[in-house]
Amino acid sequence: MERVTTFIETELLENPNYRVLINTPAGVVRAFVTNEFQFTAQADYNSPFEALLGAGEQLNLGLAAISMATGGTQFQLKSLRATVATWVDSQKPSFTLPMLFVSLGGEDIRGEVGKLLRGVYPIGVDKLEAPYGYAVDASGEAVKGTISVRIGKWFYARKQILRQVDVQYSRQVLNSGLPLFANVTIVFEPYRLPNADEVLSYFRAA
């Protein structure tokens, strides 16, 4: 318990770049980043000309069999130009953010965690609505039910959707019996595919 308190007082509270601020439709969530902030970016390419030349596969197998039978050099009827890659698509960046929620004044941290859980579970009973009331208009630009995530002074991303929330409550409890802290990891991504400038703008927060 003493080591946890010392870490909070000497590291987290003194360094503003550890602070996380998440604006959600359920309210503002405040926490501390506790580990490396990770994200994945991906572009997809293929070689369509190779698929078009796939009909020559049987011929190449035949040529290989002849070469083995005669002891000749093996070769294929294939051009390197047929392996040229063409861009197919890019994937949304997926961000993984580990955070610490800690009760500094005896407050119930379950309420803060609950604001995030509302972002992955539907609203309603018989008629279910998307988490946070998420909806996009016909233009694809006007969207509601998203979150914004700020980390210190170096990261800020708007119009994000929560994909996953992992929660681990502490065994240590307050005098009230409530958890002292919780380790929470969220996975989020933009609601639509961003372009390169938009992705880079996330890391230019002031």
Cβ pair 130, 117 in contact under 8 A: no
Half-sphere exposure of 203 (CA within 13 A, CB side): 8
Cβ pair 42, 165 in contact under 8 A: no
Residue 198 scores a pLDDT above 70: yes
Q: State pLDDT tens for residues 73-130.
A: 655 556 677 778 889 999 999 999 999 999 988 899 999 999 999 999 999 999 999 9
Half-sphere exposure of 28 (CA within 13 A, CB side): 5
Rg (CA), the chain: 26
Q: How far apart are CA 66 and CA 58, in angstroms?
A: 13
For residue 159, give the nearest of 142, 138, 184, 176 by alpha carbon. 142
- Average pLDDT of the chain? 85
Average pLDDT rounded to a whole number, residues 1-30: 77
Q: What is the pLDDT of residue 14?
A: 72
Strand stretches in the chain, DSSP E: 19-24, 27-33, 38-46, 86-102, 135-136, 143-144, 147-151, 155-169, 181-190
Q: What is the pLDDT of residue 46?
A: 86
| Percent of residues, the chain, with pLDDT higher than 70 | 78
Average pLDDT rounded to a whole number, residues 6-16: 65
Query: What single DSSP character describes residue 141?
Result: -
Q: Are strands 135-136 and 86-102 parallel, antiparallel or unpaired?
A: unpaired
Q: What is the pLDDT of residue 82?
A: 72
Residue 15 scores a pLDDT above 90: no
Q: State pLDDT tens for residues 168-179.
A: 999 999 999 999
| Cα 151-153-154 angle, rounded to 5 deg | 75
Q: What is the pLDDT of residue 168?
A: 97
Average pLDDT rounded to a whole number, residues 19-24: 96
Residue 70 scores a pLDDT above 90: no
Q: State pLDDT tens for residues 139-179.
A: 877 899 999 999 999 999 999 999 999 999 999 999 999 99
Cβ pair 140, 192 in contact under 8 A: yes
Residue 67 scores a pLDDT above 80: no
